[in-house]
Amino acid sequence: MTTTTANANVARARTGGPEDDGPKIVEHVMGWVLVVVLAMLVTRAGLL
């Protein structure tokens, strides 16, 4: 394996993260929407 191939594999191995894609406010809002929807489903199902 050459150095170029090793460097290409390291660059490809990145999984990304919040800092790579989109504004953080969108992730924050979508997280809270998920929490609210989950809470509604739990209370509707009578699990609480």
Give the model's pLDDT for residue 3: 60
Residues 16, 27 contacting (CB under 8 angstroms): no
Give the model's pLDDT for residue 38: 95
CA angle 23, 11, 19 (to 5 degrees): 15
Quote the CA–CA distance of 41 and 13 in Å, as a whole number.
37
Give the model's pLDDT for residue 42: 92
| pLDDT tens sequence for the chain (48 residues) | 566 655 555 556 667 665 555 678 888 999 999 999 999 999 999 876
Give the model's pLDDT for residue 8: 57
Give the model's pLDDT for residue 24: 83
Whole-angstrom Cα Rg for the chain: 20
CA angle 31, 37, 33 (to 5 degrees): 30
